[in-house]
Amino acid sequence: MKITLLPSSFGADARQHLTSYLVNGSVAIDAGSLGLYQTPAEQAAVRHVFVSHTHLDHWATLPVFLINVFDMGGAPVTLHASEIVLESLRQDVFNGRVWPKFLEMTHEGRRFVNVNTIAAGQTVQVEGLRITLVAVDHVVPTLGFILEDNAAAVVIPSDTAATTEIWQRADLTPNLKAVFLEATLPNNLAGLADVTKHLTPAGFVKEMQKVSRPVTFFAVHLSARAKDQVAAELLAHRLPNLKIADFGKAYEF
């Protein structure tokens, strides 16, 4: 399984403003910067997009992506999201005012996107992957993802505060290799992290202890303003299985 945390900034000092992962080139987990990735032809290799929650940093360029790939890859792209996310995308984004009503629209008989409503507890099979959806603990309803193929499993919890179920399930998942976990705010902003239901480096390390399997934890979603401080606080724990995820790098598991 090949996983890339897509870049979302310009210039040499890379920061993460938006969240999207590419899995094996054909599945996207979130669409923060997906519509800015390479060329429309390369974007069209993405056949399935999963959106974890309604926050803008996780779907910001989905409208651009859908324009780019319309009619490029045969069948339309499938958008997988919970009822609450789909309702927000219909009312707030694809509403005929901010952007065309792509979730319903057809052009010359062809849909812009197929929509699949997903819910916690479900497992979806796409592109040779089994993707299990687990509710995590964020300020809005949010789905985390357990991705499995025949060789490896990877957990992407998305945005979350301290949580339980996804770690219990991760521990029961054979071939678990990696977790891409958020570490948004530095330790001195723990109060803000509590209110916004994000993790600090101290909280991140506590979550690591909830998984007994030997896996690598990649820190993601570091606040663009405080990424050096967050990274330093994480690395101060000197845990060999804790790494800061690189942008644009294809991690193979």
Strands 77-81 and 48-50: parallel
Q: Which is nearer to Zn ion, 47 or 55 (CB)?
A: 55
Given a contact cutoff of 8 angstroms between Cβ atoms, the answer to whether 201 and 186 are in contact is: yes
**Interaction of residue 197 with Zn ion, rule CB under 5 A:** no
Burial class (CB in 10 A: 0-12, 13-18, 19+), 146: buried
DSSP bridge partners of 115: 79
**Interaction of residue 30 with Zn ion, rule CB under 5 A:** no
- Give the residue, chosen from 47, 48, 55, 80, that forms a contact with Zn ion under the rule CB under 5 A: 55
**Interaction of residue 194 with Zn ion, rule CB under 5 A:** no
Contact letters for Zn ion, residues 59-98 (x by CB under 5 A): ----------------------------------------
Contact region with Zn ion (CB under 5 A), list: 5-13, 47-55, 106-114, 146-154: 47-55
**Interaction of residue 165 with Zn ion, rule CB under 5 A:** no
CB 16 to Zn ion: min, Å: 9
Contact letters for Zn ion, residues 134-163 (x by CB under 5 A): -------------------------x----
**Interaction of residue 57 with Zn ion, rule CB under 5 A:** yes
Given a contact cutoff of 8 angstroms between Cβ atoms, the answer to whether 125 and 132 are in contact is: no
Please calculate the CA angle 152-154-157 and round it to the nearest 5 degrees.
165
Give the count of residues interacting with Zn ion (CB under 5 A).
3
CA distances from 106 to 21, 91, 113, 116, 159 (A): 28, 18, 9, 16, 33
Which tokens go with 16? 């993460």
Binding stretches for Zn ion (CB under 5 A): 55, 57, 159
